[in-house]
Amino acid sequence: MSPIISVSLNESLKKFINKLVSKNKYDNKSKLIRDALLRLMSTEDIATSLDSTSELIPITRNIIGNMIIVAPNDYNVQKKLNRIESAYRDQIVSKNLNFVNQNFIAFMVYDGTLQDFQKLVVEINSIEEIKNFRYLIIN
């Protein structure tokens, strides 16, 4: 189980979060906040990797990560996921699909940069139909 962190929000942020969740852009508040933090981490990595001449220094830290995705066994959902996977085909080193009832469960192993992993996670999280998505950075 993931640790729980409590935060205080002003009323306008609370309304904004509730609005995004109610418009079905996100399944729940936790998923929305995780996605927002991952996006922020990506921009922070880029911002802190600037040298004095303002050129980007590549983030070279490689990680191994795994992902578990549960989604409806629907052609359109699989098409969305396949489109994302093809963009990261060099980093996704293993994938297994299992079909249970009306769902598919995808297990993927990732080997690549931390920055690309963050982008991949954000893109997978953007698939609205996904019922559950978990990921773990192993090293």
**CATH label of the domain that carries residue 119:** 3.30.70.1150
Least confident of 6-15, 18-27, 52-61, 126-135: 52-61
Q: Is residue 61 part of a domain?
A: yes
DSSP-derived letter for residue 86 is H
Mean pLDDT, rounded, for 79-103: 94
Q: What's the domain count of the chain?
A: 1
What's the mean pLDDT when you consider all of the chain? Answer: 82
User: Is 66 part of a structural domain of the chain?
Assistant: yes
Higher pLDDT, 86 or 58: 86
Angle at 12 between CA 7 and CA 16, to 5 degrees: 85
User: Do 115 and 99 touch, CB atoms closer than 8 A?
Assistant: no
Residue 3 resides in a domain = no
Q: Quick one: pLDDT at residue 58?
A: 47
- For the chain, give percent helix, strand, coil, nearest 5: 40, 30, 30
Q: Is residue 1 part of a domain?
A: no
Query: What distance in Å separates the CA atoms of residue 10 and residue 132, rounded to the nearest whole number?
Result: 29
Q: Is residue 103 part of a domain?
A: yes
Q: Is residue 4 domain-resident? A: no
Q: Is the full-model pTM beyond 0.75?
A: no
Q: Which domain holds residue 31?
A: 11-137
Collapsed DSSP state (helix, strand, coil) of residue 119: helix
Residue 20 in domain: yes
Measure CA 19 to chain center: 21
**Residues 70/64, Cβ–Cβ less than 8 Å:** no
Is residue 6 in some structural domain?
Answer: no
Q: Of 119, 113, 127, nearest to 82 (Cα)?
A: 127
CA 130 to chain centre: 11
- Per residue in 57-78, pLDDT (tens digit) is 345 678 899 999 999 999 999 9
Q: What is the mean pLDDT of residues 107-135?
A: 91
